[in-house]
Amino acid sequence: MPEEAIVILLLGATKSGKTNFARRAAGYSYSGKCESMSHIKLPTLLGYLPVCFGRWRRAAAPYYHRADFPKGTTECTEYSVKAHGKEFRLIDTPGLDENPRLNRGILQKIVVKLDEIRPQEVGGVIYFHTISTRLTGPARSNIDIFEKVCGEPFLRNALFVTTMWDVVSAPGRGKFLGMAEELERKQLKNLKASGTSFYRFSNSEEKAKEVLRLYIAILHKSKARLQLGEEVARWGTSPSDVQKTEAGKLIERQLKRGSSACIII
Ligand SMILES: Nc1nc2c(ncn2[C@@H]2O[C@H](COP(=O)(O)OP(=O)(O)O)[C@@H](O)[C@H]2O)c(=O)[nH]1
Ligand SMILES: [Mg+2]
């Protein structure tokens, strides 16, 4: 029997780099050139024949993801990647927002996706964070949601990836290195204590694949299950089921806090 693919859920705020990472791992290029053909499949009489369209790419766009960068992720989207002798299914998700009301809808979409992939389970979660973003209220709230999606035992299967290291220039690098240190040692020390690994991503296919290699090692360490996945299997996917999940309950609390703050103002 073929080995099951490793499913990895990509979470994080909007513009933190989830889609970019998935597309790097899958070998997409932003120059319009096709760096890897494995993900491009055109139906033919001979089955699925991988082809690189070159200048006819645009005309054939309905058959594959276009190389131009997408405008924003509104639905959970899967990327299939082969690396280190394993198959990975990366599930890109719509970005978590400053507005808990929108996060309610995003959580719903993630839950439906988790139900759709069953009986396969999520093996790992990667949380993305732009290194220049300070951990203020909304950024912190989104990390709290990520922790509830995982559940404490599964945090050992999680990876916290900071992005944009390729554009951090030499003069400013010290400041960002300091911010990364502070994240790992102070602000997110609870995550670290729970076993979450940290990684600084410098935006290349090679580095994206390095992250996947890290995952193979992480998965050998822990057999924990994703908390949200367990909750979906137990209860279902209706909006009231989602509100019962730990992540759903947190979003409702964040909503209440938000609306009471408005009353005070
Ligand atoms: N240079 C650089 N650009 C990045 C990186 N991560 C994301 N971006 C860019 O930032 C923008 C938002 O990234 P995207 O992956 O769409 O964020 P998402 O909303 O989390 O999916 C896009 O224009 C990406 O090309 C990175 O590590 N380095
Ligand atoms: Mg996206």
Q: Per the domain annotation, does 153 fall within a domain?
A: yes
**What is the whole-number distance in angstroms between the Cα of residue 142 and the centre of ligand 1?**
18
Q: Could you list the pLDDT tens digit for every one of the 265 residues in the chain? A: 567 899 999 999 999 999 999 999 999 876 433 333 333 333 333 433 333 333 333 333 333 333 444 567 899 999 999 999 999 999 999 999 888 889 999 999 999 999 999 999 999 999 999 999 988 888 999 999 999 999 999 999 999 999 999 998 878 889 999 999 999 999 999 999 999 999 999 999 999 999 999 999 888 777 899 999 999 999 999 999 999 999 999 999 999 887 544 333 3
Q: Per the domain annotation, does 1 fall within a domain?
A: no
177 with 49, same domain: the answer is no
Q: Count of domains in the chain?
A: 2
171 with 40, same domain: the answer is no
Q: Is 77 in the pocket of ligand 1 (CB under 6 A)?
A: no
Domain boundary among 68, 94, 122: 68
Nearest CA to ligand 1 atom 25: 20
Query: In CATH, what number is assigned to the domain containing residue 126?
Result: 3.40.50.300
Q: Is 94 in the pocket of ligand 1 (CB under 6 A)?
A: no
pTM of the model as a whole: 0.84
181 with 214, same domain: the answer is yes
157 with 61, same domain: the answer is no
154 with 230, same domain: the answer is yes
HEC sequence for the chain: CCCCCEEEEEEEECCCCHHHHHHHHCCCCCCCCCCCCCCCEEEECCEEEECCCHHHCCCCHHHCCCCCCCCCCCCCEEEEEEECCEEEEEEECCCECCCHHHHHHHHHHHHHHHHHHCCCCEEEEEEEEECCCCCCHHHHHHHHHHHHHHCHHHHHHEEEEEECHHHCCHHHHHHHHHHHHHHHHHHCHHHHHCCCEEEECCCCHHHHHHHHHHHHHHHHHCCCCCHHHHHHHHHCCCHHHHHHCHHHHHHHHHHHHHHHHHHHC
Q: Is 19 in the pocket of ligand 1 (CB under 6 A)?
A: yes
15 with 59, same domain: the answer is no
Q: Find the domain containing 173 and state its range.
A: 6-30+70-264
